[in-house]
Structure 1
Amino acid sequence: MKATQLEEHLSRIDLFHDMSDKAIRRLIGSGREVLHEDGHRVIGEGSDLAMAFHVVLDGHGVVTSAGVERRIIGPGDSFGEISLIDGEPRSATVIAQGPLRTFAIPREPFVLLLDDHPEIARGLLLVLCRRLRQAEASMAGS
């Protein structure tokens, strides 16, 4: 994807839509696009080091935890932030379901991004709260 297309794409994602064009360009300079083939394990629960935060650009992935499918992710969704924030092992596995293209931001630039743009941190808190509520509702229904 061309840089201008990526800039437009990322600026439409909830986490980044409040960022300036300059900040989006800085974000793009900090990360890279990655294409994952169908069935590829993008991140693995428990054993993988937290190397990057991912934003789904195209395609879908399945998120599992303890061997149970938790959700399907698609364009605009993100994953990998929990381990980058707390330094603990990955809490879930993400497997590409068909071709999956993500924008990956390594740990250091991600942490700096959160420091420089608190609106992203607020957005991540909302995402994490939504996931926690879904997990609690799922456990209550079990």
Structure 2
Amino acid sequence: MDHEVVRQAPLFAALDSEDAEALLAQMTPARMERGDILFREGEVGDSLYVIGEGKIKLGRSSSDGRENLVAILGPGEMFGELSLFDPGPRTMTATAVAETQLLGLGNDSLTGLLTGRPEVAKALLAALAQRLRRTNEHLADLVFTDVPGRVAKALLDLAERFGRPVEEGVMVSHDLTQEELAQLVGASRETVNKALADFAGRGWLKLEARAVLLLDVDRLRRRAR
């Protein structure tokens, strides 16, 4: 696992190299395969996690079994920190969508770190605020943006975090099934597939297995507005 990637997480933002290495030594490594569940919604949470490699999806389920995909997180991103500031049941289920390596830190160790280090707490709160802002934007999109616009916006967000430039455009290896992508957008698979097919027909993108090649990012940006 690349510790330099892990140290991009907000948890390490206010630490110097020596303190960061000391913190890494306290963290517990874990490896997951696609489909493995790290924790479930409703379970008591007592740790936060930082992703070193791979991807984690955070989602919720309704009483009738329907699923809503809240976020896809990748290397250098952190989750589970809410349990530190608001101890209680997990609000989401965390599942690996690719082979994933991560590091966990128990709340006891984290509380010890925060004692006398208000700058670390400030960095964690800033990360929570950023996530809340993104959640508010997502809720607004569900109300005010049509499905094709939401699909375009989701693809652009995935491209920003997981895309890599190639000769034809931007290759986005998102590792999501069509159903998972639909859950992320908040629409039916059929409606999302129709939007993707329309974009492909216009030459804006090319669909791949659990990936998409963006051919015309500017057009997608205009459609996402």
| Same-fold call, TM cutoff 0.5 | yes
Which residue matches 1:50? 45
User: Which of the numbers 36, 59, 67 marks the counterpart of 1:64?
Assistant: 59
1:20-74: CA deviation from partner (whole Å, max 9, x where unpaired)? 222112212211211011101112111x121311000000011113431111100
Q: Read off the aligned partner of 1:60 and give its amino acid letter.
A: K
TM-score (normalizing by structure 1): 0.85
Using CA pairs below 8 Å that are at least 6 residues apart, which structure has the higher relative contact order?
1
CA offset at residue 17 of structure 1?
Answer: 3.5
Structure with the higher strand share, 1 or 2: 1
The residue correspondences of 1:41-120 to structure 2 (distance < 5 A) are 41-46=37-42, 48-66=43-61, 67-120=67-120
Q: Show structure 1 runs of 5+ residues with no match.
A: none
TM-score (normalizing by structure 2): 0.56
Alignment coverage as a number of residue pairs: 137
Point out the structure with max Rg over C-alpha.
2
Q: Show structure 2 runs of 5+ residues with no match.
A: 62-66, 144-225
Q: Read off the aligned partner of 1:72 and give its amino acid letter.
A: I
Identity of aligned residues (%): 27
CA offset at residue 132 of structure 1?
Answer: 1.2
Taking the aligned partners of 2:5 and 2:133, their CA distance within structure 1 comes to 28
Taking the aligned partners of 1:10 and 1:113, their CA distance within structure 2 comes to 17
Q: Over the residues paired in the alignment, what is the CA RMSD in angstroms?
A: 1.8
Q: Read off the aligned partner of 2:41 and give its amino acid letter.
A: E
Residues 7, 76 of structure 2: 8 Å contact kept: no
Change (3 A) 1:42 1:120: same
Residues 34, 103 of structure 1: 8 Å contact kept: yes
Deviation beyond 3 Å, 4+ runs, structure 1: 8-15
Larger CA deviation: 14-23 vs 121-130:
14-23
Taking the aligned partners of 1:103 and 1:116, their CA distance within structure 2 comes to 23
Residues 63, 94 of structure 1: 8 Å contact kept: yes
Taking the aligned partners of 1:118 and 1:89, their CA distance within structure 2 comes to 26
Q: Read off the aligned partner of 1:78 and give its amino acid letter.
A: M
Change (3 A) 1:102 1:116: farther
Q: Read off the aligned partner of 2:60 and give its amino acid letter.
A: S
What SS class does the counterpart of residue 128 from structure 2 fall into? Answer: helix
- Asked if residue 16 in structure 1 is aligned to residue 17 in structure 2, the reply is no
